[in-house]
Amino acid sequence: MEIYKKTGVALSTLRKYKRLMNSEQLEELFADRIRRNVSELEQYGDKIDEEILLRQPKTLREIQNIIKEKVGITRSISRIGVWLKKRGTKIGQ
């Protein structure tokens, strides 16, 4: 059985990789071509972190109000909680 059938990778992709390997352009093989969306909250992450450290809010509602006041972004409390958890930010301590 041919390799492209076993791996499920398109034959054209395998040919492209082989050509890159033969031409010693290995950097292109490992280039990150995935475009990632950056959330609005992430764009202001440092500014929000500074305010959280300064004010030391105890609840997500307080953080929601800080975000709305400082950067003008409105998000649900649960969405803010997920974003803070992803960043590793602790609140109420």
Domain ranges of the chain: 1-33, 40-87
Q: How confident is residue 93, by pLDDT bands cut at 50, 70 and 90?
A: low
Q: Dihedral of the CA atoms 87, 83, 89, 40 (nearest 10)?
A: 80
Q: Given this model, what pLDDT does residue 1 score?
A: 46
Task: Return the exposure string of 59-78: e unless at least 16 CB atoms fall within 10 Å of the residue's CB, then b.
Answer: ebeebbebbeeeeeeebeee
Amino acid at 73: I
Helices (H), 1-93: 3-7, 11-22, 26-29, 40-43, 45-55, 60-71, 77-87
Query: pLDDT at residue 25 above 80?
Result: no
